[in-house]
């Protein structure tokens, strides 16, 4: 049970990093010269926070890879698609239509089948 909690925690923090990066790039003007937008990105609190959480996620991923078969572990990463779709809808008002809902259902079904294989 602790193993599944760690896997899910890794997926959640990975998705949180993505949401922070998405929020952060909204404050960066990429039409400016690279040094300008790079400076804006570095001093934007959301982007460094997202990168930091990505590093934590990566370290946890490495740990999980040492404990599980890749063919078992990797499909759980697709849960980040589900969380990103829900996070995009909740945080940014992105569209969550029937097609995306169907895709989310298929992903959840696939992950449930993989989880049963352990």
| Count of alpha carbons within 13 angstroms of residue 104, beta-carbon side | 14
Show the low-confidence residues of the chain (pLDDT under 70).
Answer: none
pLDDT, residue 12, reads 97
CA gap 59, 63 in Å, rounded: 6
pLDDT, residue 116, reads 85
The helix-helix angle for 34-42 and 46-67 (nearest 10°) equals 70
CA gap 27, 42 in Å, rounded: 11
pLDDT digits (tens, 9 = 90+) for 68-93: 999 889 888 999 999 999 999 999 99
pLDDT, residue 62, reads 96
Q: How far is the CA of 48 from the CAs of 21, 42, 82, in angstroms?
A: 8, 6, 24
pLDDT, residue 114, reads 87
Instruction: For the chain, give every domain's residue range.
Output: 2-116
């Amino acid at each position: 049970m602790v193993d599944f909690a760690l896997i899910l925690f890794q997926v959640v923090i990975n998705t949180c990093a993505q949401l922070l990066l998405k929020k952060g790039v909204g404050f960066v003007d990429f039409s400016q010269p690279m040094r300008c937008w790079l400076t804006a990105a570095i001093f934007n609190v959301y982007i460094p926070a997202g990168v930091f959480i990505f590093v934590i996620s990566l370290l946890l991923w490495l740990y999980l890879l040492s404990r599980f078969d890749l063919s078992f572990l990797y499909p759980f990463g697709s849960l980040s698609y589900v969380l990103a779709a829900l996070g995009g809808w909740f945080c940014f008002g992105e569209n969550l239509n029937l097609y995306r809902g169907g895709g989310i259902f298929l992903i959840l079904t696939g992950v449930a089948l993989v989880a049963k294989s352990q």
